[in-house]
Amino acid sequence: MTDFDAGSTTDRIIAGFDRINDKVDDMRAQRLNDPDSLGDKALKFMLPSIAGFIAGKLFTLVWNRSIGRGKTAKSGGDALGDGVVDEKESVVMSVLFAALSAAVGAGVSTLSDRGSQALVNRRHRRRNR
Mean pLDDT of 102-120: 91
CB 97, CB 63: distance < 8 Å: yes
Reported as type and span, the H/E element at residue 23 is: helix 6-32
Half-sphere exposure of 58 (CA within 13 A, CB side): 9
The one-character DSSP state at 75 is S
Grouping H, G, I as helix, E, B as strand and the rest as coil, residue 41 is helix
The more confidently predicted of residues 91 and 28 is 28
pLDDT digits (tens, 9 = 90+) for 23-74: 999 999 988 887 778 888 888 899 999 998 899 899 989 988 887 654 444 4
Q: What is the residue extent of each domain of the chain?
A: 1-34, 36-127
**Euclidean distance between CA atoms 24 and 90, whole angstroms:** 54
